[in-house]
Structure 1
Amino acid sequence: MVHSSKSTHKGQHVGYIRVSTLEQSTSRQLVDVELDRVFTEKTSAKTVERPELQACIQYLREGDTLHVHSLDRVCRSGAGDAVMLVETLNAKGVSVVFHKEGMSFNGSMTAAQKGVLGILASVAQMERELILERQREGIAAAKALGKHMGRPKTSLNEDELKRLVAEGLSVSAIAKQLGSTRQSVYRRMEALGLR
């Protein structure tokens, strides 16, 4: 029996998880995938500054597999991002799996694979842009109807605020008593010359 001199190292299963805002949960991505290492990022899809993605790419070695929940987690400015990521990692001997789309790449891509990946990445980007467009339209419609968008405005009772400050209460305690935020109390105190 002839043994190959090539290493039989299976490599690691590495996950890249990204959500757009600090409030969003990363828990729904790659839940059923057993991973050796996970790189998590909370940043907008629009930004090119993705330190965790860059760290992930640097970390990956030949024989490793990168697991990504869906194409829109890595696309920044269009389909080219996904194709470039896959080509870069495949050249290093790293496999790439996009779970939502059911796509796996573990070698040089054919023209057909590049085309399909490009199309799916474009669709993912279009979906994201449609969501933002609908969100902007909804906000504009609500404003046109006179609805206030954002945090509810709080009106702080000036006399009550002065009394609580005179009593020596902390800003946190004042905010709690007035049903407001500390930031609002600070701003009002500054406006009234109480700070």
Structure 2
Amino acid sequence: MSEQVGYIRVSTAQQNTARQLDGVHLDTVFEEKTSAKTKDRPELQAAIRHCRKGDTLNVHSLDRVCRSGAGDAVSIVEELTSKGVSIVFHKEGLTFSGTMSAAQKGVLSILAAVAQMERELIKERQLEGIAAAKAAGKHMGRPKAAATPEQVRELRASGLSIAKTAEQLGISPATVKRLQKT
């Protein structure tokens, strides 16, 4: 009996996976929250190992699996299709099953290269934005703690716990610990 397998990936733990493969019937889903720039994607590897002849691996878009290089895309598709597994990239409307023709390999390589280029362009724009903000004198990163070491020491000396001191000063317990050491 063939199975509909889904692979869902987002880059960070804060991102939502709900839109990926929404409305697609899936028997088994493999989901991970990790950047595609790394090849260490255990859930992708588990999904590939899980698929058997006659199964279909459903992926929202090519960039969910192939952003680390065009060669990755072709090798993943070839690995799956050699096992008799179909792979569907829903956003691009691409389905691969059986042996890939030279034209299919070419199209897949081009699309994967475009996805990789897109990732690199996003990173370039991000770095340019950070550099421009710094040049304009904007503070980057977390805001500085509004509390002083003296305030922390005073509240702690009055018997307040770290948690209560943090709550009263509007800072985190970790910041309380750091400030009481200075």
Q: Which residue of 2 aligns with 1:126?
A: 117
For the aligned residue pairs, the C-alpha RMSD in angstroms reads 1.1
Q: Is the 8 A contact 1:12 1:65 kept in 2?
A: yes
2:176 to 168, 179, 185: 185
- The match for 1:21 is 12
**Which residue does the alignment assign to 2:60?**
69
Larger Rg: 1
How far off is 1:91 after superposition? 0.5
Answering whether residue 27 of structure 2 is matched by residue 33 of structure 1, we say: no
Deviation at 1:172, TM superposition (A): 2.0
The answer to whether the Cα contact below 8 Å between 1:43 and 1:50 also exists between their aligned partners in 2 is yes
Secondary structure of the residue aligned to 1:61 is coil
Picking from 40, 46, 59, the partner of 1:49 is 40
CA distance in 2, matches of 1:97, 1:64: 11
Aligned residues: 182
Runs (4+) of structure 1 moved beyond 2 Å? Answer: 157-160, 167-170
Q: Any idea what SS the aligned residue of 1:74 has?
A: helix
Partner of 1:140: 131
The residue that corresponds to 1:160 in the other structure is 151
Secondary structure of the residue aligned to 2:87 is strand
Cα shift at 1:76: 4.3
Q: 1:78 aligns with which of 54, 59, 69?
A: 69
Contact 1:18 1:42 in 2 (8 A): yes
TM-score by length of 1: 0.90
Give 1:28 deviation, angstroms.
Answer: 1.3
5+ residue gaps, structure 2, are none
Unaligned runs of 5+ in 1: 1-8
Q: Which residue of 1 aligns with 2:50?
A: 59
Counterpart amino acid of residue 39 in structure 1: F
Within 5 Å, give how 1:94-109 maps onto structure 2: 94-109=85-100
Q: Distance in 2 between matches of 1:187 and 1:163?
A: 14
- Percent identity, aligned pairs only, is 65
Give the letter aligned to residue 15 of structure 2.
Q
Whole-angstrom distance in 1 between the partners of 2:179 and 2:131:
29
